[in-house]
Structure 1
Amino acid sequence: MGGLLWLICALTAIPMLKLLPFFGINKYWAAACLVPIGVPLLAWYMAIKLQELEKR
């Protein structure tokens, strides 16, 4: 079961490499996806950035 969690975390890093630069975040932050808490934190930060982009 632990291996499945690591696989999911690793597979989310690939789309994050493409999405993060759109939000003005360095693409190397996608490495945070390798830590299980990194995906929700990056998604939260991207949501905040999206709200800022919509206000302009």
Structure 2
Amino acid sequence: MIWWLILSALTAIPMVRLLPHFGIHKYWAAACLIPFGTLGLLWWMGIKLQELEKL
């Protein structure tokens, strides 16, 4: 369980800083605490990146 908390913190902290650049509220970084939450956020960020490139 301690490893899970460490890995969650190591992914949530950068997400708090990155998500606002993609137009996503920083509190969504809490999704890193659940399994596959980080993958979901990366997917969402990828979609937002494609939308920003079209502009």
TM-score, normalised via structure 1 length: 0.88
Aligned alpha-carbon RMSD (Å): 1.1
Per-residue CA deviation, residues 2-56 of structure 1 (Å, 9 max, x unaligned), is 4323321221000000000000000000011111211000000000000000010
- Residues 1:48 and 2:44 are matched in the alignment: no
Alignment length (residue pairs): 55
Q: Give the letter for the 1:28 counterpart.
A: Y
8 Å CA contact 1:13–1:33 kept in 2: the answer is yes
Q: How do residues 21-32 of structure 1 correspond to structure 2 at under 5 angstroms?
A: 21-32=20-31
Of structures 1 and 2, the one with the larger relative CO (CA 8 A, separation 6+) is: 1
8 Å CA contact 1:9–1:36 kept in 2: the answer is no
> Which runs of 5 or more residues in structure 2 are unaligned?
none
> Which runs of 5 or more residues in structure 1 are unaligned?
none
